[in-house]
Amino acid sequence: MRNISVILALALVAGASLSAQAAGKKDKKQGKKATTTVVKQPVALNTANDSLSYASGQALTRGMMDYVIAQLKVDTTYMADFIGGIREGLTSGVTSQQKAVEAGHRIANMVREDMLPRMKADMGKMGVKIDSLLLTRGFVDAVENDTTVFTLDKAIGYQEKEIRDIQKRIADEKRAEGKAWLDANAKKEGVKVTPSGLQYRIIREGNGAVAANDEEVEVKYEGRLIDGTVFDSSYTRNPQTTSFRPSQVIKGWTEALKMMPEGSEWEVYIPQELAYGERQAGKIPPYSTLIFKLEVVKVKKDEKPAEDAKDGKKDNKKATKAKQTPKARK
């Protein structure tokens, strides 16, 4: 609604006359720069309603130019043509043909400004360079139902198969890269390997409690990829610690947290199958081997079961007494 109001206001407060547009077109045909002559009739404001109507039209232009330039992408060099188009549409109405052309322009803008850049970015992540001209040609041919190269179904099937094949190739390469890195890392001094494939190196050995699966652990950590990219770090936050239960995190963390005594600091190397596997997780690409600097600050031993047992015992006594009371009365 606001957009429509802005456009209406634009037509009310400025513009070139249709005769000036015609003169401009004639000049263009003759190879001359088009000039626009603004012809305005005096504004007759005879009543309070007239004044309010006119003032309301002007008030609607608030923020108009930002919208026209930033959102509609209108080049200010051609503002007179833009205004003339609005004036013509409001005074003459819009034909079915014009509506069709406008719809085509909108779809073209969607392709050019949104779909194409997004597809190029997504394909670029897979190492594929999209040809903009061929993409737009394929788009127009499909709209025209031109099946010379592909039917729509075959085009969709081809695209999906190619993307699957590319993704499988990337996954295979990523898994092989991670395995090679871990194989080399396992040979380094101080690195230990568990049966699951998890690797770790003890930086500082703690002597406190070790967490059970559902006990909360307060930790500090920094996570990075094997190329050194840091994707997350509690050290950059305030407070630097955060809390998890081993049962709430990825498998590699679960295994490590259940081995680390309170006060420990380890460097943990997690194979992709013990991390996020095929999933993209924020800045972490699929099939990524992960490295964590991990400190266990505190293990919050759960004493609740003991309390529950104590409370339960009391409750049982009350229940027994309640059951015995009727008998005593008898």
Indicate if the pLDDT at residue 185 is higher than 60: yes
What residues are paired with 243 via a beta bridge? 218
High-pLDDT (> 90) share of the chain, %: 48
Whether residue 14 is predicted with pLDDT greater than 70 in this model: the reply is: no
Considering only CA atoms, which of 7, 4, 63, 13 is closest in space to residue 38?
A: 13
Continuous segment of H or E residues that includes residue 133:
helix 132-143
- Asked if residues 212 and 302 have their Cβ atoms less than 8 Å apart, the reply is yes
pLDDT given for residue 2 in this prediction = 43
pLDDT of residue 302: 66
Q: What is the pLDDT of residue 315?
A: 45
Rounded to 10 degrees, the C-alpha dihedral 116/120/123/128 comes to 120
Domain contains 252:
yes
In what helix (H) or strand (E) does residue 327 lie, and over which residues does it extend?
helix 304-329
pLDDT score recorded for residue 147: 93
Q: Do 82 and 194 belong to one domain?
A: no
Domain extent at residue 244: 185-305
- Choice among 7, 83, 200, 221 that is catalytic: 221
| pLDDT number for residue 60 | 77
Single-letter code of the amino acid located at 173: E
The token duo for 106 is 């909108």
- Same domain for 190 and 83: no
Residue 326 has pLDDT above 50, yes or no: no
Query: Among 276, 284, 287, 291, which one carries the catalytic annotation?
Result: 276
Among residues 54, 139, 163, 232, the one annotated as catalytic is 232
- Label residue 109 by pLDDT band (50, 70, 90): confident
Residue 164: inside a domain: no
Give domain status of residue 115, yes or no: no
Q: 82 falls in which pLDDT band (50, 70, 90)?
A: confident
For residue 327, tell me if it sits in a domain: no
Residues of the chain with pLDDT > 70: what percent?
78
Q: How many helices (H) and strands (E) does the chain have?
A: 11, 7
Residue 265 CB neighbour total at 10 angstroms? 16
User: Is residue 231 annotated as a catalytic residue, yes or no?
Assistant: yes
Residues 189, 301 within the same domain: yes
Tens of pLDDT, residues 35-58? 455 566 888 889 988 888 888 877
150 is catalytic: no
Model confidence over 207-225: pLDDT tens digits?
999 999 889 999 999 999 9
Does the active-site annotation cover 276? yes
pTM of the model: 0.60
- Set 150, 244, 250, 302: catalytic member: 250
Domain count, the chain: 2
Residue at 98 is within a domain: no
Percent helix, strand and coil across the chain, each rounded to 5?
A: 55, 15, 30
Instruction: Answer whether residue 209 is part of any domain.
Output: yes
Reply yes or no on whether the pLDDT at 267 is more than 60. yes
261 three-state secondary structure: strand
